[in-house]
Structure 1
């Protein structure tokens, strides 16, 4: 599984590199830089690798200032040594990329629509996602990245909340992994994959 996923990522990297500055990091995250007009900030747009086409279509021809670092995360597709599937992104690949690139803002593409401003905290147990105060311990998994790197993932994520923004966008529960960005002091918002382009236009137009 990991080797076939790496082959897919490598093929996509070759295509992206023909048009953009692109790379593949230690965790198998496929990334590329999109340059806007002068001024503005650096935004890291994190999205699941399986949503790559939809995200690239939303970004095509988008007008913005600054720079977007698009990070396509394959961790939800990565196998675990325990044989359990992952229900969503993991902590280590995103934390590594944030520490390496230090963007001004983090935007997390997630299932849903509009803006995600927070998450109450939760943990994933053998019986599914539960509140942090539930008795069951969170799953502790060993994840095999497409590159062959193995890392530990504790499926417990703390609460997070970002200040409201003056935008006319639907408000949805934010993605659980938003706490990774705020823990590093990076302003973080979720942006729904439904009508993603309209949400990105509104957000980037504000900043």
Structure 2
């Protein structure tokens, strides 16, 4: 997508100031706009979302929409999000180095998977450690749980940084994929719930491996590969 610039969408009306900001970013070479606080919980109406999405699309700018509830920006027949756009799953499973509810993760991810199929919208998962984040964070159980949680849904993008999103020291570590070769296709259409005692509380099988995550949503968790014996 190239450079993507950040603008807050919260509020009810669409101002010329917002359009001016978008024009300004485009003139500097930005290829997309990141709309923060874009959900109904920030008093953003569907009309406001649609006007700014249409405005960006007319300028050949893609959009990243950040809203806690994916229904707020992708639900209904009047959404203007398209295959050129991205929905951000912020605080994905791990936030500030804390484990989050796996039930909530699955519910939200199921919704996003549905919208990805229906609309072609791309999904970006962002997890966060504490500040400062370690350069070896990708070796932690926190990271493996989050990475496998994204891989099981074949979401388009995944990365992790500190809870301040590198604003404190401008340091961003690149954490590569745990693996790029874990099968050619999934054997099931959905992530399934398994037996936590066997280390696969949630899992999905490919033709080669089983991807699974386990945890209590509070004090421990991890992700792993396994093969049927």
Per the normalisation by structure 2, the TM-score is: 0.28
Question: As a proportion of its length, which structure holds more strand?
Answer: 1
Per the normalisation by structure 1, the TM-score is: 0.30
Larger radius of gyration: 2
